Amino acid sequence: MGYEIVRISKEQDEQAWLDFRENGIGGSEIGTIMGVNPWKSAIELFYQKSGAFQSKVDYNTPMFMGNILEPIVADLFEFWDDGGNLIHNYVSGLRQRKLYEIDGYVLNSDYPNMFFSPDRLIADRPVKRMSNLIHKNIEGIVEIKTISNWSAKQWEGGMPPSYYLQIQTYLMGLDVEEGYLVSLKDGRDLDVLYIERNREVGDMIFNQVQEFWQRVELAREDPDNIDQYAPDPDGTQSLENFLKEKFKNPEEKTTLADDKIVQLAKEHIELSQKAKEVEEQARERSNAIKMYMGDNSILDLGKNGKVTWRQNSRGIRIFKNLFQD
């Protein structure tokens, strides 16, 4: 196992940063390859890594605020304990752990075509020098997220799979057993989730990355036939949007379907009809619930949760069924 730190700054040389990322897979991209990222499909990532499309990073307000708040959240986590004594520890200077930031990307010779960039490391000494970047000096991996209350509600069913896979990737790449997902919700609530290394998941991640990267290399060698190396389509909205952009200038020509595409066309019609029927049945039930609620905004379902039908800022009533079995 051999480590290397590649020091490269997006702020100082964005093109060099993009070029580096196009020649491997990072932890934040694992969820996309594994098909659990609702915002990006594996096909879109494939075309970007293959060089058919230039990667675009739109630096928006949430990303900006995340970068600004990241060191603050990291500092708070140094004083956090699971006993709820964060404020006392902070005021009293009772640091529970020491976090270090890696100034660059970590490469591990055991995991080709991958790079690792955890937000922070829990370590017993600084990790600026290569000699200190070995697993016996590292106690844990820390990934930091700043999220809104609306985003936090999406976590009610558990940690987002993309974040779990991202941390498992870093645990694998740096040969560490423990990780933490530290999130700041609405700028005030610090939440900490502990993650143990899962070697089976790590093996699955590595195998998926190698299979995906083989597709990328074949596409780079045969750019005229790039489409035949792409991953299978998925059902994400992000892929639908990507395909609209990729094929936005159609030609008035006809292509002949093979047997597989004919079958897919048949299944699409059948599923669309079923979806329409299910949508109508769901609407019938929601209308019946609304009739029962009348002018009331909340319907108490007892141990099964509740239904809300509240006005939003524009005066429109929004129906939410929060039934729990």
DSSP secondary structure of 214-231: HHHHHHHH-GGGGGGGSP
Asked if residues 170 and 202 have their Cβ atoms less than 8 Å apart, the reply is: no
* Model pLDDT, residue 49: 93
* Model pLDDT, residue 267: 92
> What are the chain's domains?
57-205 (3.90.320.10), 260-325 (no CATH)
Residue segments in the chain with a per-residue pLDDT below the cut of 50: 130-131
* Model pLDDT, residue 196: 95
* Model pLDDT, residue 128: 55
**Pairwise CA distance, residues 211 & 33, whole Å:** 10
* Model pLDDT, residue 129: 53
Asked if residues 94 and 78 have their Cβ atoms less than 8 Å apart, the reply is: no
Q: Considering only CA atoms, which of 163, 141, 167, 166 is closest in space to residue 151? A: 163
